[in-house]
Amino acid sequence: MSGVAIVDYGINNVRSVRNAVEYCGFDPVVTHDAGAIADASHVILPGVGAFGDAMTNIRARGIDELLERYVREKGKPFLAVCLGMQLLAKTSEEHANDGVLHSGLGWFDADVLRLMPNDPALKIPHMGWNMVAKERSHPILANIREGNLAFYFVHSFAMHCKAPKDVVGYAQHGQQVTAIIARDNIAATQFHPEKSQDSGIDLMSNFLRWNP
């Protein structure tokens, strides 16, 4: 096992995630190579940019098939970040052309919708620090006190899960924002743990030591 594979699909923020993984004491590899992902003990899917562009790159490089094989079938511990989390949904309305939604990986029964806060004073994108309220416990939150669940968000769209049991935590931004989801060996955060200082490093470290 080579340790940690950070999936590179060409437009994601691999540098900050790599720095966070290294800070946690691991030696990651940034890759879209099947062999490297096969050898890794843990897989991270970062994300930044637009949903449609990301899925186009993922499919063009065959990364969707690699993740299906090594994460869904073989059960490698997996963490998706920000747009990476949204890509696990069935559809997204981000930049949908003539109402035709983008298709995601479809791992969760969820859709990605534009944020619509009920307070007009709240800005979009939702950018900055926000508290996360736990719906349930999860190993990636182990030993993080509830008062320390503050993380850094940057997004204009958010996942709406149809299965409440998939949701680990919510934030509030004039509406309920799905902040953490998890099922089996898969976890994902709407926020950026790699930019969330101590709380983010604690979450990342928990993930890297997680053996579901």
Q: Give catalytic residues, as residue numbers.
A: 82, 192, 194
Q: Measured between alpha carbons, how far is 182 from 106 in angstroms, rounded to an integer?
A: 14
Q: 59-62 contacts: CB < 8 A, separation 24 or more?
A: 61/9, 61/10, 61/32, 62/34
**Partners of residue 188 on adjacent β-strands:** 80, 181
Q: How many Cα atoms sit within 13 Å of 195 on the Cβ side?
A: 20
In one-letter notation, the amino acid at residue 41 is S
Pairing of strands 133-134, 157-161: unpaired
| CB proximity list for 133: less than 8 A, separation 6 or greater | 146, 149, 169, 170, 171, 172
Pairing of strands 110-114, 157-161: antiparallel
Strand-by-strand arrangement of the 3-7 sheet: 29-31, 3-7, 40-45, 78-81, 186-189, 176-183, 167-172, 133-134
Q: Measured between alpha carbons, how far is 64 from 57 in angstroms, rounded to an integer?
A: 10
